[in-house]
Amino acid sequence: MSSTNGREAIIGIDLGTTNSEVAVVEDCQPRIITDGGDGILPSAVGLDMDGRLLVGEPALNQMLAAPERTVRSIKRRMGTADKVRLGDVEYTPQEISAVILRHLKERAERYLGAPVRKAVITVPAYFNDAQRQATREAGELAGLEVVRILHEPTAASLVYEAERCRGEAAIGPRKILVYDMGGGTFDVSIVEIHSGVIEVRASHGDTHLGGDDFDALLLDHVAERFLKERGVDLRSIPRARARTLRAVERAKRVLSSHPFVTVEEEFIAERDGVPLHLSVELRRDDYEAMIRPLIERSMGSVQTALHDAKLLTRDIDRIVLVGGATRTPLIQRELAARTGIEPHHEVDPDLCVALGAAAEAALIAGEDLHSVLVDITPHSMGVGCLDELDEELGPYLFSPVIPKGSTLPAARSEVYYTASDYQKVVEVCVYQGEERDVRRNTKLGTFRVEGLTPVPAGNEIVIQFQLTLDGTLTAKATEKATGLSRQIVVDDALHSFTDEDRARARERLDRLHRLEVDGGSPAAAGAEGGATGEVASAEPAAQPAGKSPQDQAIEDTVRRIRALLDRMVPEDREEAVELIDRATSGAAAGRLEDARAAHRELQEMLFFLEEA
Ligand code: AMP
């Protein structure tokens, strides 16, 4: 008999449309059983040329070459009378699912070194009785007693609320919003926990919305550009299309933690016998503009689910993210902006449901359960930027690079812009904390990058942070155009921000405010993170509302360009007038990206005109 605590182990299985996982509670902690890899088993089943059974990655790999011998996304057919053909034989959806479940059961048995007979299996909240029954049958065909069919959003909530689910009545009711976006489907559920009873109060979704749609938009964007520049439509050549799609999907993942990425594929096509290579830089800002309408659509579902549950956003205690696509920062930002609640993504959104299934299994078995949350950064790590804070311009706005709650190790980067024309130096001040004003956070270190190219304001500086499990933070700043970079290493960056540190920061800040009332300026008082002389901290890409340094810079550039209009040749003048209009009306109407792009072009113009 297998045992994690002298008892028979019950495994938790997330039987997904695209991927499946198995987990078990050990030492009071749910763990994914990985079998050496990352624990994610593609939900694909196939037969190879010799009729041998393939499960997971090998089946997926032969999908293109042998679609008649491969089955994917069987979950979409559960509960129907459909049959799928594998080679010469037809199978029911239950039978195909049973193959996946058996593979996971055997994986667990190898890991635990003992037979496994019982499992908790998850299903979407919208599954009807026939679909749930089919899932139960699939489990039984795989040799498992299905001790519970659990809703996926319930499982995800359990990961974050395990202690509340042990029936601790003293803890009041909790309402959790679970936003689940995978590759092809999206759903949002409202889960309520009350005295240990956990139920889905409402669920709403869109079976045709997910990360695959983001890939399709990127594919079109890249292909259109290639068509314009090279005269070949990559979408019309099946192999080139498949390669480009794979490349943009990878690029999309990179954009979740970096502001730029270059999609590169050699020999992607040819024209008149000449090989063509693909190389396109994608910017997160542009990508976000492309996917925004889809994200808006998902936010409509959030409203519907709240309405169905007769709740308002202020009634929600926690937001939990599930599904790979929720790593997209725009989704996290939009949810936070609309609800005022920072969504939780500490637990890997691909593994959250399986971990919750294992937690439920442990609760059924009467096992002890500790918090699942380990190896996350307890504080945000970021830099100080020149911006408006409480209507005062200064280098005190905190811009997080690695947000609080990120899983470790973490590597992220953000882009910032120099604030002054011909700026040769940036000083980067690194902080830990959650306050918008860096003076209330803990300073971890500071460094300078000297010798920047003397160009107009807006020189792109990429700040990259890497934080290891043992708390070593490497902060690096790179001038994007030249690759010039500097870095610092901070040991023990996870050292907690103590009450004493906080009190000291407050005191420093109060002293500064007093000085200001008395007529001394904060910079003159030697504030930490201050920008002096030609050194200025970088300015963030996203400006808050109000008259930002960007608006001021636009005004300044426009004034200088206007003074030169008479000296320009007619074509330049026409272009300048158009750019002035784009920069000023764009800034006023909140089209910041366009305003910034026009501003940069105006600055370039100015650079040449004033040189001349
Ligand atoms: P799932 O069905 O939950 O496995 O989610 C798969 C979807 O998540 C696919 O569209 C992936 O491209 C997407 N995905 C995975 N990792 C990331 C990431 N780091 N950023 C954005 N999307 C991601």
Q: Mind listing the pLDDT tens digit for each residue in 22-66? A: 999 988 889 999 988 889 999 999 999 999 999 999 999 888 788
Q: What is the pLDDT of residues 536-577, one digit of tens each?
A: 344 443 333 335 666 777 887 888 888 888 777 777 787 888
Nearest to 442 by CA among 404, 398, 407: 398
Closest atom of ligand 1 to 181 CA is 3
Residue 122 confidence class, pLDDT cut points 50, 70, 90: very high
- Distance from C-alpha of 117 to C-alpha of 102, rounded to nearest angstrom: 11
pLDDT at 135: 96
Q: Output the CA 320–ligand 1 centroid distance in Å.
A: 16
Q: What is the pLDDT of residues 381-410, one digit of tens each?
A: 999 998 887 777 778 899 999 988 787 788
Does residue 280 have a pLDDT over 50? Answer: yes
Nearest to 119 by CA among 162, 159, 142, 148: 148
Does residue 215 have a pLDDT over 60? Answer: yes
Q: What is the pLDDT of residues 486-512, one digit of tens each?
A: 999 988 777 655 556 556 655 655 665
Q: What average pLDDT is seen over the chain?
A: 85
Of all protein residues, the one whose alpha carbon is nearest to atom 22 of ligand 1 is: 325
Q: Do domains 3-166+349-364 and 381-525 have the same CATH topology?
A: no
Assigned token pair, 189: 């559920």
Residues marked active site are found at 14, 75, 152, 180
* 246 CB-side CA count, 13 A: 7
Q: Where are the domains of the chain?
A: 3-166+349-364, 381-525, 549-611
Q: Which CATH superfamily is domain 3-166+349-364 in?
A: ATPase, nucleotide binding domain (3.30.420.40)
Ligand 1 pocket mutation, candidates 76, 219, 252, 351, criterion most atoms within 8 A of CB = 252
The answer to whether 442 touches 501, Cβ cutoff 8 Å, is yes
Of all protein residues, the one whose alpha carbon is nearest to atom 8 of ligand 1 is: 324
Q: Output the CA 158–ligand 1 centroid distance in Å.
A: 22
Closest atom of ligand 1 to 256 CA is 20
- Which is it for strands 410-417 and 425-432: parallel, antiparallel or unpaired? unpaired
Q: Which residues contact 570 (CB under 8 A, 6 or more apart)?
A: none
pLDDT at 401: 95
Ligand 1 pocket mutation, candidates 20, 21, 256, criterion most atoms within 8 A of CB = 256
Q: Output the CA 54–ligand 1 centroid distance in Å.
A: 24
Of all protein residues, the one whose alpha carbon is nearest to atom 2 of ligand 1 is: 182
The answer to whether 29 touches 117, Cβ cutoff 8 Å, is no
Instruction: For residue 48, count other CB atoms closer than 10 A to its CB.
Output: 15
CATH topology for 381-525 is Substrate Binding Domain Of DNAk; Chain A, domain 1 (2.60.34)
The answer to whether 452 touches 468, Cβ cutoff 8 Å, is no
Residue 612 confidence class, pLDDT cut points 50, 70, 90: low
Q: What is the pLDDT of residues 290-346, one digit of tens each?
A: 999 999 999 999 999 999 999 999 999 999 999 999 999 999 999 999 999 999 888
Q: Output the CA 559–ligand 1 centroid distance in Å.
A: 46
Q: What is the pLDDT of residues 162-210, one digit of tens each?
A: 666 655 545 567 899 999 999 888 999 999 988 777 888 899 988 889 9
pLDDT at 472: 86
Q: What is the pLDDT of residues 244-267, one digit of tens each?
A: 999 999 999 999 999 999 999 999
Ligand 1 pocket mutation, candidates 350, 352, 355, 407, criterion most atoms within 8 A of CB = 350
Mean pLDDT of 347-369: 90
Of all protein residues, the one whose alpha carbon is nearest to atom 16 of ligand 1 is: 324
User: Is the entire prediction scored with pTM above 0.85?
Assistant: no
Residues with C-beta less than 6 Å from any ligand 1 atom: 18-19, 182-183, 210-212, 249, 252-253, 256, 323-325, 327-328, 350
- Distance from C-alpha of 586 to C-alpha of 593, rounded to nearest angstrom: 8
Q: Output the CA 211–ligand 1 centroid distance in Å.
A: 6
Does residue 526 have a pLDDT over 70? Answer: no
Does residue 143 have a pLDDT over 80? Answer: yes
Q: Output the CA 557–ligand 1 centroid distance in Å.
A: 42
